Amino acid sequence: MDKKLLTPGPLTTSSKTKEVMLHDWGSRDIVFTKLNKDIRQSLVELINGQNIFECVPMQGSGTFAVEAMIGSLTNSKSKILILINGAYGHRMKKICSYISRNNISYEVAEHEIHDCNKTQKIIDENKDLTHIFAVYCETTSGILNPIQAISDLAKKKGISLFIDAMSAFGALPLDINKTYFDAVAASSNKCLEGVPGVGFILVRKSVLKVSKNNSHSLSLDLYDQWKAMEANAQWRFTPPTHVLAAFNQALKEHSKEGGTKERFKRYKENCKIICEGMSSMGFKQLLPDKIQAPIIITFLQPDHPNFEFEKFYNSLSDKGFLIYPGKLTVANTFRIGCIGHLNKKDMHHAIDAVKKTLKELDIKLN
């Protein structure tokens, strides 16, 4: 049996999602082009963006989608404020510097959220700002950034908001009737529980339509990808057919489960079991519950002579669970994800595995 992935993606997928990949599709055949159309339509519907937003899928991991979004929907006249509190905010800044997009950033520590008053002050001091880039759930720590407040501010100031919702989309609420934004990037292999290989950008039609010739890259040109797909329902270049078939199945399962609302509930319950179980053993969470998204949880590595991350990891792996190393720059941590095709029973098993592991390593924390 496969090990359970307590990671932020790739993650554990359903049997059916894996099974549907046992076929070959002609990428220019109607069976596949219909499937592709269905995926794009369901993704737009997930944010209630019918008629206002377009979905443009992009081959590659999530970063390819983020880079396509930035490169295609901004240009040399843009000035971007990037809100950074972890690796993915930094990555957006790095993309901007690779492709020479004028930007400033407001960075806070990895366990803190941005002060909205300060963000407003930065906007007021930089009258030429055209865009704000924000990360919804910063997977580095698992922190939940206040996307609604950021959106309200951007809207008030008439600035275009782009969201990296990679590890949030499909589980944390995002509805254009409530949250104003111009573009959001996400991928198949996180809360939507597909397999890795494709990302997508949901973009306001009015923004996409005027984005011709912005892109620094042919492969990552959203406008070109969109125009081609609209013209003949096909991808410009080889699509990841099997990945898209799995994604289509995963989206059906998302809908069957009850959509974003029910997925949020399941992850929230998973998160609670992990947090309470770990806390009962004496592990300390990095973040207070209030700003902890039910996606991935960061724990501090305990200060115990017998605790070594590699041994801890290997012992959990022997018991069928793969956890994730920490990504913080400020402290030694590790992470446990609570997303994927996993339920409370799996979470209780994971906690049992951690208990056994502590016993084996002769670690007692409280």
Give the residues lining the site for ligand PLP (CB under 6 A).
Answer: 8-9, 61-63, 66, 88, 135, 139, 164, 166-167, 187
- Amino acid of residue 172: L
The residue among 184 and 354 lying less far from ligand PLP, judged by its C-beta, is 184
Choose between 62 and 294: whose C-beta lies nearer to ligand PLP: 62
Q: How far is the CB of 185 from ligand PLP (least distance, A)?
A: 8
Cβ-based nearer residue to ligand PLP, 17 or 139? 139
- What are the Cα distances from residue 257, in Å, to 105, 244, 252, 299? 39, 20, 9, 29
Residue 231, classified by CB atoms within 10 Å of its CB into exposed (0-12), middle (13-18) or buried (19+), is: exposed
Cβ proximity to ligand PLP: between 58 and 166 the closer is 166
User: Using an 8 Å Cβ cutoff, are 83 and 89 in contact?
Assistant: yes
Q: Report the amino acid identity of residue 321.
A: F
CB of 95 to ligand PLP, least distance (A): 11
CB of 33 to ligand PLP, least distance (A): 26
Q: How far is CA 152 from CA 26, 108, 119, in A?
A: 44, 20, 12
Q: What minimum distance in Å lies between the beta carbon of 129 and ligand PLP?
A: 22
Kindly give the pairing relationship between strand 333-337 and strand 324-325: antiparallel
Shortest separation between residue 62's beta carbon and ligand PLP, angstroms: 3
Residues 116-127 as b/e (b if ≥16 CB within 10 A, e otherwise) read: eeebeebbeeee
We find the least distance from the C-beta atom of residue 278 to ligand PLP, in angstroms, to be 21
Q: Which is nearer to ligand PLP, 67 or 182 (CB)?
A: 67
Helix H or strand E encompassing 186:
strand 183-187
Residue number with CB closer to ligand PLP (66 or 183): 66
Of all residues in this chain, which one has the CB nearest to ligand PLP in the complex?
Answer: 62
